[in-house]
Amino acid sequence: MPALLASLVHEPVGDPVPVPVGTRFEVEVARNGHSSMDNMDGLGHRSVLSCPDCGGVMWEIAEGDLLRYRCHVGHTYTADLMSVMTDENVRRSLGVALRALEERAALAKKLYNQASDRGDRLLANTWSARVQEFEREMKVIRDSIARVDEITANFERATKVAAE
């Protein structure tokens, strides 16, 4: 192998290939960490997706079979990684929703107990009904979290099998 490398080192250099404008622009964005949205429109088209890191607009950039996404701040993702990040954001958002529902249910239980202790049956029944509704909502969110986890695990297994 070293002989091959040595022979290649002595090969004449080919004609220079101009760097595409899009590549030069992306290198500048990566170096400086920002660009204007108008400049990004020349690179690709605005997508309906938001950046998982900063929440900004993502541009979809097609390069042959490769599909990439970049925001004007400079965050960049392949389509596969964008899929993983959107799954992660859904999982995180569902977790926040579950926490808020759990807090709402805990408060409703406390208010139910207070109304019961005061002997206010009508108000206690109202809070009891709300607790039950909140628990149904929490089940929906927990089931959704489990489904997102299942989809993510299936994707990871499929990706692993495809790579082998």
Would you list the domain boundaries of the chain?
2-74, 82-163
pLDDT per position in the chain (164 positions), as tens? 577 777 777 888 888 888 776 777 777 777 776 666 677 777 788 999 999 988 888 999 888 788 889 887 778 898 888 988 888 899 999 999 999 999 999 999 999 999 999 999 999 999 999 999 999 999 999 999 999 999 888 888 887 887 77
Q: What is the pTM of this model?
A: 0.67
What pLDDT does 161 receive? Answer: 82
The three-state secondary structure class of 129 is: helix
| Backbone dihedral region for residue 12 (phi beyond 0: left; psi -120 to 50: alpha; all else: beta) | beta
Nearest-CA neighbor of 83 among 57, 49, 35, 37? Answer: 49
Nearest-CA neighbor of 66 among 89, 42, 85, 82? Answer: 82
What pLDDT does 6 receive? Answer: 77
Tokens of 10: 């002595």
Tell me the helix, strand and coil percentages in the chain, rounded to 5.
65, 15, 20
What pLDDT does 97 receive? Answer: 96
For tokens 């080192």, what's the residue?
A: 9
Q: Phi, psi at residue 49, to the nearest 5°?
A: -90, 150
Amino acid sitting at position 36 = S
